Structure 1
Amino acid sequence: MIILTLLLGIYAQNNINELLKEWEIQIEQSQIESQQTFNEIVQYFKDEIPKQYQSRFYRMYGQYIFYGLENENRIDFARALFYFKKSSDLGDINSQFYVSLLTYLNLDGSYNIYKNLKKESQLYRYVKEKYQSVSLIDLYFSAIQGLDKSSIAMGYRHLKGIGVNQNCSNSALFYLPVLEEFANQPIKAKYINDNRQVAKALYDSNFYMNHELDIFGHAQIFENLNLITYDSATEVKQLAYSFYYGLNGLRRNYEKAYQLYYKLYDQLNDKESGIKVAQMNIENLGVGQPNYELALEILNKIETKKQEFQGKIYNALGYIYFKGLGVSQDIVKAQDYFRKAADLQNNDGQFNLGSLYMLPSTIQRERNQAKGVQLIEQAAATGHAMAQYSLALILLDGVDLFYSCDLAASLLHASSSRGPWADTLKIANYLFQQEQYAQSLSKYFEAGYTGFNVAIQNAAVIMEQNDAFYYDSLHFSDVQNRLNNDPVFQINGVYDHDPFGYLYSDYLQFVNKSTLYDLLQLDSFGLNGVLQYRFLTQCAKEKEAICHMKLGDYYYNGKYDDVDFKQSFLHYKKALEGQLIDAMKAHVYFNIGLMYALGQGVNINRTKSIEIFELSINSYSLIPILPTSAQVQVIDFLVNLYKQIDQTGIEQFLDINYVELILSLIDTVEECLIRNSQTIVNVSVASLIVFLFGWRLKLINQQN
């Protein structure tokens, strides 16, 4: 009987461990199936949560709430923080990261406390500064205990001086241990290096592109397709790419990627897929047993004039001979192939050849550190993660290159952004595509905290354009009522803390409960705008053009601060130094032209304004039927009209200048359209409508 009881206990423990593992994966991927798994686990814990599971379970439940998996329309930050704190107190380093994140964003309730306090009060000063110190302490302890994403976040904080003094040496100290772990393991090094291919896809996954690919639909159709046709090749290749890199909501799966690439090469002789098949055999990815003979056969067989493909082939052949995979090791031959790849601008070839030059001299080759550094620099400039890491080490040591701590720390930051923690950003992009804005916002919060500039930018845009940030979930005054309906809080053993006192224990030493409750009852606060402004300012420091454009708009319209045309003008100018899509560029040019025309933040310069209006129209014409010169004259006319109305008022302007206005409009438009007879009729009709509308407005004004 005792043995049977023990066996049943072991079985139950294994079962719950498997359930927790499954639930953790579902939470990380933000899968809706996590709701069912959660219900199953709660059934196991219906009477009590065993101590060995408490830390992990509370943290996962906090994530479950934080990622919007409990309720897709609401994210209850107060309850999520409650469970993160419980888990953190039990030693969970992941929870320390989330407590730090929520505190840094003022989602710990501190904002709606200090926002309603007198600035000269002791409580205001305490709460205002408290969140930064708490955030830093939790993040620091999590980082020194080995949580990679906390180390990355600490490295980013020191790199940019966020809440701490800017210090590149401290930044490097946090980045290096994380990257060393990956650099010294081939498969992990492959992971961060290959993710440079994904970097552009991640960066381009903003809110101004159409996402038409139904990746799950294609997965169901093409994953087990035996016969691939040329018509279906594009979709199959996209699916293989998504499996290989873990994109578009799919988990990374090398086995499925290999199967699809092999079919594409075997059935359609697709050269790109053939190179991928060879590489995956060489690197032992997605194959039961690597087939070096097949890899060598494919690489020698493929004939291509495409520089990109040929560079990959030479680099792969170099790796085969360098490692002696299925052939006798031949360093000279390997170096020759790496050189050929490097000459074709293949950054893997540049990095491998540069690394060979950095190694000690042998009978077969000579050491050439200067040449090695030059090649590694070339690879690093293309975004090669391992080259960036290696160059950072060289810069930190000053080996045959000037010492530069700042540049080294920046390179370590760039290299670290290729690690597995980038999966959070991939999932955030996918959730946004699925119009799950609240869930994607939480993922962007997390990714932005670890230094992904595009995530910071996207979080700001989501809060501005989508209804994803719910104020009622931030009100802590009724957290007790919300917890009373919480299935986990109802389980025996969770009532060891009063939730209000537990969340605000440090604030209570400054005020009594009733006063604090009164503060928390206040319903109006602008945390949404504060966070938007913070994120935009942060990513504008990274020279992100869209963020500068948004800040230009905010200062121009006085959205979160007083109107400041000079600041607006500076941000618009910086936006034009970066990359903007045509419609955004036209918007920025137009506003700058308007500022020159009206003297907003700059001296009035009519000639300059007309030149910039033309740039705006050339970037994105809103009236394509009119020639550019005509559009510029119409805009210039309307701007001057606006200036007169602004000075005299609409009523006085209509009384004095209406007929002159219409005649001037007709003369201006006819002059610029005299050679474009197709549009004269349209303009004439439009002028007549404007005339009649204005005349009617004038009559109404006289009657009044």
Structure 2
Amino acid sequence: MQNQFYNAHRHLHQDDQLHTPAESKNSENVKPEVDEGEKQNQKFEQNTFFEDKEANLNTIHEQDSHNSHNNPQNTEDFEDIIAHQNSLGQKDLDQQEPDQQEISDHQNTAVHKEFEIFQDSQLPSDSQEFRSEFNPDSETLHETVVNQQNQDTNEISHEPSNEALNTADLNSDVDSANFPDTDHTADAVNSKGEEMKEDELTPLEIKANELYEQGEVLINNTYHKNYRAAYVFFKAAAQLNHTKALEYIGFGHFFGDHCNQNFTKAKEIFEDLSNRGSARGQLGLGLLFSIGMSVNSSQAKTIVYLTFAALGGDPLAQMALGYRYWAGIGVEMKCESALTYYRKVATLVSNMVSVSGGPVIQRIRLQEEVENTHSNSGLLDDDLLQYYHFLADKGDMQAQVVLGQLYYQGGRGVEINHERALHYFLMAAESGNALALAFLGKMYSEGSPVVKQNNETAISYFKKAAEKGNAVGQCGLGLMYLRGQGVEKDYINALKYFTLAAEQGWAEGQLQLGIMHYSGLGVRRDYKLAVKYFNLASQGGHILAFYNLAQMHATGTGVLSNCHMAVELFKNVAERGRWSEMLMEAHSLYREGNVEAALIKYTFLAELGYEVAQSNVAYILDQGESMMFLKQETNKRALLQWTRAASQGSTIARVKMGDYHYYGFGTSVDYEVAASHYRVASEQHHNAQAMFNLGYMHEKGLGMKQDVHLAKRFYDMAAETSTEAQVPVTLALLKLGLFYGVDVFSKEMEFYKDFLKKLNPQLYLGPDWDLYVITFLAVLLGLVILLRRQMGQAA
């Protein structure tokens, strides 16, 4: 089957041992020759590390890719899709080898925010031993756009992976990394065929390519992207039947980005793209069938389309499939299959990471943001940002460093802008700030469209920062010694500076120490120490540390093999891909009041397995803010998303599941099921609301035995767990005490009534008991009178 996906090499950087941060493109003063001993020392033992287990995982992947064909329930769905695929009539498809996929070479494609990364989704070839990273400067970026936009498609052979634990040879030629890991042999073989195809283009096809390329240029600007104008070109190209332009437009209609939101139109475009073999079109159809927009919801068809898209190399489809195999949604829960898919996506994401440790992701839960009004959920307030600018311009060194870091790394609602970062770092460096000096060293060692890569300048800044005891500078200097950039390669000095940085808690230093101990560079190889340092770096949030830990857990290197742990770690890496920028975009739309658009973006990410997106979809539906569905359907969809989020450990979602079963929202009332969810939230997450709810249910005897003492115990636990629960708990205890007192008094009155009943003389003397009593009293009175007379006579 022929599928297309994108190569966007502008985000890739050169890798080091294991998966290390980026090595600069134009490394200066690097020793071209290294003796054989060093080469052997740097070699990562590709043929011994992960080889057997990787082969096993590939076998599993091949089996999984055909599982749905063997599922009787999906037979009709597969027949429909296969019929579509068989309708493909292109000549190039007929000529393609069965093992090969068509891959677009329209390199350097950027798209509208969330789809910027869609076009960065070129998966590294499984036949490559190592991956490379590349961070081109502005001149190289421009040349790449010009040279690659007019090329057609190449073919890549997909061979079984013999992947090592995300590392590149330290001596690899960085300049050879202009493309992601592709099979260069296949490229050479097909180059002649490409020229022939280019000559065969019709005038309309040439015009469509030109329009598409004009749109690309508008969104490939470093800082000033013009999406609105770009979509004008994409629409024009799409009218001329340009496949990639149609992919833009299809998802534009899906999300409502620069196109009218129209699920029916999106479906038509996705079907057309799917018939052409477009993996992106198949992904779109799979999502529509999953969420039931413009089509009847069908998990079977979802799995079919996602499987074809994943086989076509689409990382988002692989991510969605990985989540489904991990959670058992529409397929049998299978950890090994989830591992296979998530590993592919994590590998792609890890290739995009530089020494900054990966993008900063804001995972904002709407319910928490509303409930904690005093918190800004990690976003930097505009007024505060302006205040920082004011202080920085006045010469405040601390403000200058803060702004430099914000613009260098992005996050907290601030977009990356290396121009501004350089400006503020230079201002602070003039005052001798060590952190600013270190970050200037990072910028020059990596290179960017703003500063040309320069090892000598980088070393100068790193040394100044290291002399001041700065961990960032120490780590940067260690990297220069490790790679031999601008200095002689020296593992002893590299180890020294990494250790100094790691002791200060700098994640990059801890990562590099882990790499050196894993590879045996300057030290005795020690996998357990490598795991230790990777764990420390992961606590600092370094994405490559998560990736390397995942590889080690997947293969049992230095630790016991643990598929579940490996999947969770790979999932963590995969969710930090640049498509995660959609989280912030959806949040911005929600804050602006565009709830429906935010809901669709959150729903898209929820299908990829993002717990925060699932929680936010459920919250929007729970609050009744969307008019997209009927009331009962809204509750069912909300319950589905709460359930998925709860399975990923969300406490709020677990409590909400209890609420929905308690009140019968989207399901029937079931107090026992509600109590079970509250119990999980109470015992595993120590949630005060769940404890309070359990206390109430014990008080009323709902779904469990009525027990006032247990009710009071849960109320007390809720008050101890959260100060916010103290007021409602106090009121609940007062009410409980009042009703308990009334209940005790009623029981006491019942006791006295029973006692009086037992004294009823009719039970002993019969109905004439009063006559007997009167007679007895008369006799008693007579005796008293008699006694009194006798006592008087005696006196």
TM above 0.5: yes
Give the Cα separation in 1 of the matches to 2:505 and 2:368.
Answer: 26
Which residue in 1 is equivalent to 2:618? 460
Q: 1:600 aligns with which of 696, 702, 708?
A: 702
Which residue in 2 is equivalent to 1:489? none
1:285-684 equivalence runs, <5 A: 285=448, 287-302=450-465, 310-360=470-520, 364-380=522-538, 382-471=540-629, 526-576=632-682, 585-617=687-719, 631=731, 633-637=733-737
User: For residues 21-46 of structure 1, what are the alpha-carbon distances to aligned partners after superposition, in whole Å with 9 as ceiling and x for unaligned?
Assistant: 378789xx9x9x8566656765x57x
**Which structure has more helix as a fraction of its residues?**
1
SS at match of 2:734: helix
Give the Cα separation in 2 of the matches to 1:346 and 1:623.
Answer: 39
Which residue in 2 is equivalent to 1:179? 346
1:208-227 equivalence runs, <5 A: 208-209=371-372, 210-211=375-376
Which residue in 1 is equivalent to 2:445? 282
Which residue in 2 is equivalent to 1:83? 269
Which residue in 2 is equivalent to 1:141? 308
> Highest relative contact order (Cα 8 Å, sep 6+), 1 or 2?
2
Give the Cα separation in 2 of the matches to 1:191 and 1:427.
Answer: 25
Question: What one-letter code is carried by the residue in structure 2 that aligns with 1:153?
Answer: A
SS at match of 2:354: helix
**Alpha-carbon contact 1:229-1:268 (below 8 Å) kept:** no
Question: What one-letter code is carried by the residue in structure 2 that aligns with 1:174?
Answer: Y
Which residue in 1 is equivalent to 2:249? 61
Question: What one-letter code is carried by the residue in structure 2 that aligns with 1:454?
Answer: V
The CA RMSD over aligned residues, in Å, is: 4.2
User: For residues 292-348 of structure 1, what are the alpha-carbon distances to aligned partners after superposition, in whole Å with 9 as ceiling and x for unaligned?
Assistant: 45544444445899xxx9443432232122123333321111112222333333332
In 2 relative to 1, CA 107–12 (structure 1 residues): closer, same or farther, beyond 3 Å?
Answer: closer
**Alpha-carbon contact 2:443-2:451 (below 8 Å) kept:** no
Question: What one-letter code is carried by the residue in structure 1 that aligns with 2:250?
Answer: G
Give yes or no for the alignment of 1:92 onto 2:252. Answer: no
Give yes or no for the alignment of 1:49 onto 2:239. Answer: yes
Once the 2 structures are TM-superposed, how far is the Cα of residue 537 of structure 1 from its aligned partner?
0.8
**Alpha-carbon contact 2:444-2:451 (below 8 Å) kept:** no
In 2 relative to 1, CA 329–103 (structure 1 residues): closer, same or farther, beyond 3 Å?
Answer: same
Give the Cα separation in 1 of the matches to 2:266 and 2:743.
Answer: 53
Once the 2 structures are TM-superposed, how far is the Cα of residue 607 of structure 1 from its aligned partner?
3.0
SS at match of 2:533: helix
Give yes or no for the alignment of 1:257 onto 2:421. Answer: yes
Give the Cα separation in 2 of the matches to 1:530 and 1:323.
Answer: 56
**Alpha-carbon contact 1:318-1:337 (below 8 Å) kept:** yes
Question: What one-letter code is carried by the residue in structure 2 that aligns with 1:435?
Answer: G
- TM-score, scaled relative to structure 1: 0.66
Give the Cα separation in 2 of the matches to 1:466 and 1:365.
Answer: 60
Question: What one-letter code is carried by the residue in structure 1 that aligns with 2:239?
Answer: I
Q: 2:354 aligns with which of 162, 165, 190?
A: 190
In 2 relative to 1, CA 547–56 (structure 1 residues): closer, same or farther, beyond 3 Å?
Answer: same
Give the Cα separation in 2 of the matches to 1:404 and 1:621.
Answer: 39
SS at match of 2:357: helix
In 2 relative to 1, CA 569–623 (structure 1 residues): closer, same or farther, beyond 3 Å?
Answer: closer
In 2 relative to 1, CA 546–19 (structure 1 residues): closer, same or farther, beyond 3 Å?
Answer: farther
Give the Cα separation in 1 of the matches to 2:511 and 2:448.
Answer: 21
In 2 relative to 1, CA 49–302 (structure 1 residues): closer, same or farther, beyond 3 Å?
Answer: closer
5+ residue gaps, structure 2: 1-200, 747-795
In 2 relative to 1, CA 172–623 (structure 1 residues): closer, same or farther, beyond 3 Å?
Answer: closer
Which residue in 1 is equivalent to 2:197? none
Give the Cα separation in 1 of the matches to 2:576 and 2:654.
Answer: 25
Give yes or no for the alignment of 1:166 onto 2:333. Answer: yes
Give the Cα separation in 2 of the matches to 1:291 and 1:161.
Answer: 50
The structure with the larger Rg is 2
Once the 2 structures are TM-superposed, how far is the Cα of residue 203 of structure 1 from its aligned partner?
10
In 2 relative to 1, CA 172–603 (structure 1 residues): closer, same or farther, beyond 3 Å?
Answer: same
Query: When the two structures are aligned, how many residues end up with a matched partner?
Result: 540
Which residue in 2 is equivalent to 1:653? none
Give the Cα separation in 1 of the matches to 2:729 and 2:625.
Answer: 41
**Identical-pair percentage:** 22
Give the Cα separation in 1 of the matches to 2:312 and 2:616.
Answer: 30
Which residue in 2 is equivalent to 1:16? 211
Once the 2 structures are TM-superposed, how far is the Cα of residue 14 of structure 1 from its aligned partner?
6.5
Which residue in 1 is equivalent to 2:63? none
Give the Cα separation in 1 of the matches to 2:540 and 2:465.
Answer: 26
In 2 relative to 1, CA 527–202 (structure 1 residues): closer, same or farther, beyond 3 Å?
Answer: closer
**Alpha-carbon contact 1:347-1:379 (below 8 Å) kept:** yes
Question: What one-letter code is carried by the residue in structure 2 that aligns with 1:137?
Answer: V
User: For residues 375-421 of structure 1, what are the alpha-carbon distances to aligned partners after superposition, in whole Å with 9 as ceiling and x for unaligned?
Assistant: 22443455432222222222333334322233222221122122222
**Alpha-carbon contact 2:498-2:509 (below 8 Å) kept:** yes
In 2 relative to 1, CA 232–319 (structure 1 residues): closer, same or farther, beyond 3 Å?
Answer: closer
User: For residues 519-572 of structure 1, what are the alpha-carbon distances to aligned partners after superposition, in whole Å with 9 as ceiling and x for unaligned?
Assistant: xxxxx6733222211111111111111111111211121112222222222222
Once the 2 structures are TM-superposed, how far is the Cα of residue 366 of structure 1 from its aligned partner?
2.2
User: For residues 640-665 of structure 1, what are the alpha-carbon distances to aligned partners after superposition, in whole Å with 9 as ceiling and x for unaligned?
Assistant: 69999xx9xxxxxxxxxxxxxxxxxx
Give the Cα separation in 2 of the matches to 1:531 and 1:158.
Answer: 21
In 2 relative to 1, CA 401–614 (structure 1 residues): closer, same or farther, beyond 3 Å?
Answer: closer
In 2 relative to 1, CA 78–344 (structure 1 residues): closer, same or farther, beyond 3 Å?
Answer: same
- TM-score, scaled relative to structure 2: 0.59
In 2 relative to 1, CA 603–419 (structure 1 residues): closer, same or farther, beyond 3 Å?
Answer: same
**Alpha-carbon contact 2:513-2:533 (below 8 Å) kept:** yes
Give the Cα separation in 2 of the matches to 1:22 and 1:205.
Answer: 40
In 2 relative to 1, CA 76–25 (structure 1 residues): closer, same or farther, beyond 3 Å?
Answer: farther
Which residue in 2 is equivalent to 1:228? 393
Give the Cα separation in 1 of the matches to 2:711 and 2:206.
Answer: 77
**Alpha-carbon contact 1:66-1:76 (below 8 Å) kept:** yes
Which residue in 2 is equivalent to 1:128? none
Give the Cα separation in 2 of the matches to 1:468 and 1:392.
Answer: 39
In 2 relative to 1, CA 101–630 (structure 1 residues): closer, same or farther, beyond 3 Å?
Answer: closer
Question: What one-letter code is carried by the residue in structure 2 that aligns with 1:63?
Answer: F
Once the 2 structures are TM-superposed, how far is the Cα of residue 153 of structure 1 from its aligned partner?
1.6
Which residue in 2 is equivalent to 1:519? none
Give the Cα separation in 1 of the matches to 2:364 and 2:401.
Answer: 16
In 2 relative to 1, CA 155–202 (structure 1 residues): closer, same or farther, beyond 3 Å?
Answer: same
